[in-house]
Amino acid sequence: MFEVAELTHQISDQDYAEPIVALRTELLMVQQQLKTLDFPVLILISGVDGGGKGELIHALNEWLDARYMHTEAFDQPSDEEQERPKFWRFIRALPPKGQIGIFVGSWYSEPISKRVSGHLKDGAFERALNDINALEKLLTDDGGLIIKCWLHLKKSIQKKRLKALAANPDTQWQVTHKDAHHIKHYDDFIDTAEAVLTRTSTVHSPWLIVDGSDGNYARLTVGQHILNRIHRHIQQRARQQTLPEAAEPDLNLYQQSLLDALDLSLSLKKSDYQDKLAFYQTQLGQLSRKAKARQHSILLVFEGWDAAGKGGAIRRLTYAMDPRLYRVIPIAAPTDEERAQHYLWRFWRHLPRAGKMTIYDRSWYGRVLVERVEKLASNEEWQRAYAEIVDFERALTDHGITILKFWLHIDKDEQLKRFQAREKIPYKQFKITDEDYRNRDKWDDYKAAVNEMIARTSTHSAPWIMVEGNDKRHARIKVLETVCAALTRQLG
């Protein structure tokens, strides 16, 4: 059973009034401070039916400044939500940095209710909790503060309370069939909840379990807890900023590797190219329609050296498809809404609906490429990113999305040749800037970063495909062929 701080005394309305004034003042003051800081606060409210979640939400909405917080109550998922991985709907509703978000119903609701009703076997239940821990770690590692509150009621009190609600015509709507089911299965529910709370009460995001039998007590306790957690988090963040940077990576480790093993002399004759292009484009057209019919989503990632031919390869793909079936997302500087979120948030945003394809022209791998080399991310941040990215991609493949990641490779001489050629073509001139030459000077740093990226993020279900790009014809056909082969395998 839970260990819940035993309620030694009830708090009368009179005894409640005074501490609440003090608490409200402090909450509003810390909320003012929060606006200037660079982390979000996410408050999850869960608990047993009749535990007083509604009243608690109302109180929080009354205490806090509505302009810098919002409450998200998760109802049945819409079809747009159902067509994406399970966390998508929550991630799109995350509070931005400097703000407070309250989630009523969250990623905990489904695993608990499915487990109680027997629809989640041991292995799947375990995996669901692991996924939750990974997601919460992702957010807290990024500086986010997660505050999780569970409102508990003893069985006898829950029964009494739901009976009272059901007897009053104004409140009986609050008592649903689900509640009746839960009362009946109170013990199962509590066992499940206990397993969930124990497994997900981590150092970085612990649960607060509160006795909900006295509303005044519960609200004061949660309010005070929120205040304390935010204060402590602000102090911790300040302390962390004085810590030394994580160690520099050993660049030599990844100098000799995959990239050097590629045979850049691979090429294709023009006539062969034209035949194969027509063949695979026709096939891709058919496969993309089949994917649509089967509601099978596809995600393609293109990374590569400047001038390696990403755009050209992408156009050979899109040319074969109905424009309703794909979207190309070119990754440029993030907008301020994107900057106010975890770095993966902007990529979650564009995940394809069922049956569609999203093509990312550059991607989340910027974190371990340009952000690493240009020192836009700290060592700690980009080193952590490998695992974050693998988790992210697994969330997508678990949902049934096909992922293929292409690294378009050319050598340094070929790149220079292409830069110079572009400078001569009027409509390509703008593509070459001083920055391209600056990036070129850091070739070896990028090479180490690419090698490490490939080594650490190529997984069975989301593999990297190395494309020898010195010959554009070979590269384009290899991309097309790979996509067709993967889809043929998946769609039978």
Q: Which among 75, 68, 77, 76 is positioned nearest to 95, based on CA atoms?
A: 68
Is 57 a residue that touches its own copies (CB under 8 A)? yes
Choose, by CB under 8 A, the member of 5, 38, 62, 413 that binds its own copies: 62
Is 353 a residue that touches its own copies (CB under 8 A)? yes
Is 17 a residue that touches its own copies (CB under 8 A)? no
Is 21 a residue that touches its own copies (CB under 8 A)? yes
Is 430 a residue that touches its own copies (CB under 8 A)? yes
Q: In angstroms, rounded to a whole number, what is the distance separating the alpha carbons of residues 270 and 347?
A: 37
Main-chain phi, psi angles of 399, to 5 degrees = -80, -5
Closer residue to its own copies in complex, CB, 120/291: 291
Choose, by CB under 8 A, the member of 2, 15, 24, 379 that binds its own copies: 24
Tokens for 163?
Answer: 């009976």
Nearest-approach distance from CB 439 to its own copies, in angstroms: 17
Piece in contact with its own copies (CB under 8 A), picked from 1-9, 59-67, 260-268, 369-377: 59-67
Closer residue to its own copies in complex, CB, 174/267: 174
Q: How many residues bind its own copies (CB under 8 A)?
A: 52
Tokens for 469?
Answer: 């790009």
Is 435 a residue that touches its own copies (CB under 8 A)? no
Residue 106 CA from chain centroid, whole number? 14
Is 400 a residue that touches its own copies (CB under 8 A)? no
Residue 75 CB contacts under 8 Å (≥ 6 apart), including other chains: 105
Taking CB under 8 A as the rule, which mask of x and - marks residues 68-97 in contact with its own copies? --xx-xxx--xxx-----------------
Which residues ranging from 101 to 130 are in contact with its own copies (CB under 8 A)? Answer: 104-105
Nearest-approach distance from CB 318 to its own copies, in angstroms: 6
Closer residue to its own copies in complex, CB, 292/384: 292
Closer residue to its own copies in complex, CB, 1/66: 66
Tokens for 347?
Answer: 């990529």
Is 426 a residue that touches its own copies (CB under 8 A)? yes
Nearest-approach distance from CB 79 to its own copies, in angstroms: 5
Piece in contact with its own copies (CB under 8 A), picked from 56-64, 186-194, 384-392, 460-468: 56-64
Piece in contact with its own copies (CB under 8 A), picked from 10-18, 26-34, 131-139, 254-262: 26-34
Which residues ranging from 303 to 342 are in contact with its own copies (CB under 8 A)? Answer: 311, 314-315, 318-319, 322-325, 327-328, 330, 332, 335-337
Q: Which among 101, 106, 92, 135 is positioned nearest to 350, based on CA atoms?
A: 92
Residue 297 CA: distances (Å) to CA of 322, 358, 460, 464: 15, 8, 17, 18
Is 173 a residue that touches its own copies (CB under 8 A)? yes
Is 422 a residue that touches its own copies (CB under 8 A)? no
Is 270 a residue that touches its own copies (CB under 8 A)? no
Is 490 a residue that touches its own copies (CB under 8 A)? no
Nearest-approach distance from CB 108 to its own copies, in angstroms: 16
Q: Which among 391, 300, 456 is positioned nearest to 87, based on CA atoms?
A: 391
Is 177 a residue that touches its own copies (CB under 8 A)? no
Piece in contact with its own copies (CB under 8 A), picked from 2-10, 51-59, 176-184, 472-480: 51-59
Nearest-approach distance from CB 72 to its own copies, in angstroms: 8
Closer residue to its own copies in complex, CB, 104/112: 104
Where do contacts with its own copies occur on this chain (CB under 8 A)?
A: 21, 24-25, 27-29, 32, 54, 57-58, 61-62, 65-67, 70-71, 73-75, 78-80, 104-105, 170, 173, 282, 285-286, 289, 311, 314-315, 318-319, 322-325, 327-328, 330, 332, 335-337, 353, 361, 426-427, 430
